[in-house]
Amino acid sequence: MLQFYFLSIFLNAVSGYILFTGAGWDAVSDDEKGFKLSPSNGTFRLVLGIAAAAVGILKILSVISGDVPVIGDLIPALAGLLAGFVLIFDYYRRKTTVDSEKSEKISTLVNANYKWIGIVAMAAAGLHFLFPTVLLL
């Protein structure tokens, strides 16, 4: 479906930009405090993460006519799943009061690779937009 194609491009680009620039939790200016669609708004980041992950799953399951099932859009789908997971996990990590060893391991892995995950998501969005019928894109 073309709707998932455009949603995948948009959500990968926006979530990749937020992860790449590090916009968010610590960078709240006075101008953004009341703005609900700000990258610093935790709820916005959570909804964006859920939407990116959901579209990533649906992108694997839905096929555009003339495309190869499952692997036809594999890279944008995996990029959306990864960016969505990182945004959801980041929200969870900041809101939870329970510390666990697994959470700390994932947190150190994610924190070291925020920029790279953002670059991968933005690259997947750009390549998917420019080359929509290429296998894996």
Helix residue spans in 1-137 (DSSP H): 2-21, 42-61, 74-95, 101-112, 114-130
pLDDT, position 29: 56
- Residue-level pLDDT at 28: 53
**pLDDT value at 120 more than 70:** yes
pTM, full prediction? 0.83
What pLDDT sits at residue 88? 94
Total of domains in the chain = 1
> pLDDT tens digit string along 10-19?
999 999 999 9
41-46 contacts, C-beta under 8 A, 24 or more apart: 42/91, 42/94, 42/95, 45/18, 45/87, 45/90, 45/91, 46/87, 46/88, 46/91
Residue 112 belongs to a domain: yes
Whether 106 maps to a domain, the answer reads yes
Residue type, 104: E
> Measured between alpha carbons, how far is 119 from 68 in angstroms, rounded to an integer?
26
CA distance 135 to 49: 25
Q: Is residue 77 part of a domain?
A: yes
Least confident among 17-26, 46-55, 128-137: 17-26
User: What is the residue range of 96's domain?
Assistant: 2-29+36-130
For residue 136, being part of any structural domain is answered with no
The pLDDT of 54-80, averaged and rounded, is 84
Question: Residue 137: inside a domain, yes or no?
Answer: no
Q: What letter does residue 24 receive in the DSSP assignment?
A: S
Mean pLDDT of 59-80: 82
Both structure tokens of 125 = 């969005």
pLDDT for 15: 95
Percent share of the chain, pLDDT over 70? 87
Which residue carries 């959470």 as its tokens? 103
Whether residue 135 lies inside any domain: the answer is no
The answer to whether position 68 is within a domain reads: yes
Q: Per the domain annotation, does 100 fall within a domain?
A: yes
